[in-house]
Structure 1
Amino acid sequence: MTRVWILPVLLLLTGVLAAAGRAADGARGGAALLLLLFAALAAATSPLVFPRSIGAAEARRRSAADGRPVVYWRPGCAYCLRLRARLGVRGRRAHWVDIWRDPEGAAAVREATGGDETVPTVVVAGRAYVNPAPGWVRERL
């Protein structure tokens, strides 16, 4: 659980330290800009930008019922963040499974990718697609 917050917290602490150094040199505007930049990076890499994750079994059940894709992801993954950002509001329609929180989801990704935990892995109608184009996923939503 705490592993997902390591990168965002490190980014925020780095920003605070860098901003403090700039502020000590008298560059308050630069310090504020650095702090905002690192805070934005911390927010973007946190699990907060993704819809609430559900378990893999529940995601498969829901997908079978409504036909929506299941997206396996993990915090800190730049490709997952790119997919989430490009899907926009529509992204909430997919069923999101955090593979760091759900061992069954991680196992499903390893099975689909030949042993790797490559994410995002999107499952549509029982077929897995590794790192698909965001436009393609948007069409399936």
Structure 2
Amino acid sequence: MMRAWILPMLYLLCGAAVATGSVLEGSIGTAVALLLVFLALAALHSPLIFPRSTGAREAQRLSAADGSPIVFWRPGCAYCMRLRIRLGRSAGRMHWVNIWRDPEAAAAVRAVNDGNETVPTVFVAGLPHTNPDPAWVRGQLAPRTRRG
């Protein structure tokens, strides 16, 4: 759990240090702007922007029941952030598994990526897709939208 917060905390600490330096130089406006930039970076790299993670087994059980894709991800991954942001509200219709919280999930990702923990790895109908295009992933959700 703590591993997911290391990068956001580093952004916050660096932002505070840089902003303090700017305040000491008399540039309060610059300090506020820099602090806001570092806060935004911390938020983007935190697990907060992702839907609630489940375990790998629970995600597999839920996916078998509802047919939704499973996304294996980790905090701080730029490609995971890109996928999450580009999916928008559709992201909540998938099952998200944080590989840093679930060793079984990390093992599943390594098994399909030549021993590497390459994320995002999206499983659709049991087939893995490593770092797929967000438009393609959104398309995998489209059939459910048309039915409902």
Give the TM-score normalised by the residue count of structure 2. Answer: 0.94
2:69 and 2:139 mapped to 1: Cα distance?
10
Structure 1's consecutive aligned runs of 4 or more residues displaced over 3 angstroms after TM superposition are none
AA aligned to 1:65 is A
- Amino acid in the other structure paired with 1:79: Y
- Cα displacement string for residues 64-114 of structure 1 (whole angstroms, at most 9, x for unaligned residues): 111110000000101000100000011011000000000111111011112
Matches for 1:89-104 after TM superposition, within 5 Å: 89-104=89-104
Cα RMSD over matched residues?
0.6
Q: Could you say what secondary structure the match of 2:33 adopts?
A: helix
Q: Show structure 1 runs of 5+ residues with no match.
A: none
| Residue identity matched to 1:61 | R
Cα distance between partner residues in 2 of 1:90 and 1:114: 29
User: In structure 2, what is the Cα distance between the partners aligned to 1:126 and 1:109?
Assistant: 13
For normalisation by structure 1, the TM-score amounts to 0.98
Where does residue 105 of structure 1 map in the other structure?
105
Q: Structure 1: how far apart are the matches of 2:97 and 2:44? A: 18
2:7 match: secondary structure: helix
The offset of 1:41, in angstroms, is 0.0
Instruction: Tell me what 2:25 maps to.
Output: 25
Amino acid in the other structure paired with 1:95: H
What are the superposed Cα offsets for residues 25-82 of structure 1, whole Å, 9 maximum, x if unpaired? 1111100000000000000000001011001011011111111100000001010001
Structure 1 residue 140, shift from structure 2 partner? 1.2
Q: CA–CA distance in 1 between the matches of 2:107 and 2:23?
A: 47
Percent pairwise identity? 62
Query: Aligned residue for 1:59?
Result: 59
Structure 2: runs of 5+ lacking an equivalent? 142-148
**Residue 139 of structure 1: CA displacement?**
1.1
